[in-house]
């Protein structure tokens, strides 16, 4: 390791559990982060500063003003330009640490592309905002035999669980069960509040991202003796902390029976309610040419903007 890198990571190297050998291992490691919102930006920032050598960020959303309160990698200019979050994050992270590789991919993770996007990395990280994608990550991680870390934050509360396939409980062990019809039981699923319905505090995302980053570093360093088995939660408003032992479900449909319902696409929704009176439509059967679409719409809409990733416009009210 050259002198510049030794100086850059000197305080981390002084930590006995890492040392110079551990820092070299981090620089040779890789992780893929799915989702780049409040959790994802805080997590990516910590890992890139720590020297994780290669980080891929997958997110199809774009930056808007309401993100700036908690999504720490973004600036007002990113929101004005409606930049994709993965693109804006890549630019910022490369400026923070030019000695590591950061790759932003504008994509919506799906059963069709999950292997392409996740394969070839040592660790999968959760920065998503819905349980369909999280159960898809769980299925894929088990099939690929890759460790992954589940994390979620809403309001002032957050939770995280480290999963090592075949060694610890998986997300389906903790939160999923089969009813008589073979579908997920909503009684064991957490309430799916979102930041659009109950809000979210930046400090809550920061706490959970810090725990997730520490777990990620332990896994990448091979320090697995204290990773997994516990669902950790923290509420920054009440100060309540919990660490609950989660044991493997010996009849788990994912890690025991290897029934990858989400990976197979059977459980993927076609429509997702996203708040703000909006609906996300998952179109996967055809490619969209935004420039051509913009030209077709130009005569009928106003305030049309297109940046290569996103087409925005306003539909004027009908004339009487």
Separation of alpha carbons 97 and 86, rounded Å: 16
Q: What is the largest CA-CA distance in the chain?
A: 74
What helix, strand, coil percent values describe the chain, rounded to 5? Answer: 35, 20, 45
**Residues forming beta bridges with residue 162, ordered by sequence position:** 149
CA torsion 61-67-72-76 (nearest 10°) is: 100
Which residue's structure tokens are 């309610």?
273
d(CA 43, CA 165): 22
H or E element in which residue 280 lies: strand 278-281
Measured distance CA(238)–CA(123) in Å, rounded: 32
Which residues on neighbouring strands pair with residue 278, listed in sequence order?
275
Task: Characterise 137 by phi-psi region: left (phi > 0), alpha (psi -120 to 50), beta (else).
Answer: alpha
Q: How does strand 271-275 pair with strand 124-126?
A: unpaired
Annotated catalytic residue 170: no
Pick the catalytic residue from 195, 252, 255, 274.
195
Residue 51: name the closest of 88, 104, 85, 102 by CA: 102
Can you name the residues that pair with 62 across neighbouring β-strands?
A: 84
The catalytic residue positions are 195
């Amino acid at each position: 390791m050259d002198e510049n890198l030794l100086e850059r990571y000197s305080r981390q190297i002084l930590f006995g559990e890492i040392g110079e050998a551990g820092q070299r291992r981090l620089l040779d490691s890789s992780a893929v982060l799915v989702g780049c919102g409040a959790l994802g930006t805080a997590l990516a920032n910590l890992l890139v500063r720590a020297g994780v050598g290669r980080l891929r960020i997958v997110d199809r959303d774009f930056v808007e003003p309401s993100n700036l309160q908690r999504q720490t990698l973004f600036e007002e200019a990113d929101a004005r330009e409606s930049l994709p979050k993965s693109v804006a994050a890549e630019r910022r992270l490369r400026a923070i640490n030019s000695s590591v590789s950061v790759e932003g991919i504008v994509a919506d993770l799906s059963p069709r592309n999950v292997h392409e996007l996740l394969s070839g990395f040592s660790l999968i990280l959760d920065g998503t905002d819905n349980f369909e994608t999280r159960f898809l990550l769980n299925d894929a991680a088990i099939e690929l035999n890759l460790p992954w870390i589940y994390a979620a934050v809403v309001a002032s509360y957050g939770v995280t669980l480290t999963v090592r396939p075949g060694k610890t409980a998986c997300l389906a062990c903790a939160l999923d069960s089969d009813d008589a019809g073979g579908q997920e039981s909503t009684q064991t699923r957490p309430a799916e509040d979102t930041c659009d319905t109950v809000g979210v505090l930046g400090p809550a995302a920061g706490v959970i991202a810090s725990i997730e980053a520490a777990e990620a570093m332990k896994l990448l360093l091979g320090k697995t003796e204290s990773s997994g088995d516990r669902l950790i939660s923290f509420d920054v408003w009440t100060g309540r902390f919990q660490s609950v032992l989660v044991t493997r479900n010996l009849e788990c449909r994912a890690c025991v029976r290897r029934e990858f319902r989400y990976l197979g696409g059977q459980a993927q929704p076609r429509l997702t309610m996203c708040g703000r009176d909006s609906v996300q439509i998952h179109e996967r059967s055809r490619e969209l040419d935004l420039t051509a679409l913009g030209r077709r719409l130009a005569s009928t809409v106003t305030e049309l903007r297109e940046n290569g990733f996103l087409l925005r416009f306003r539909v004027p009210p009908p004339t009487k």
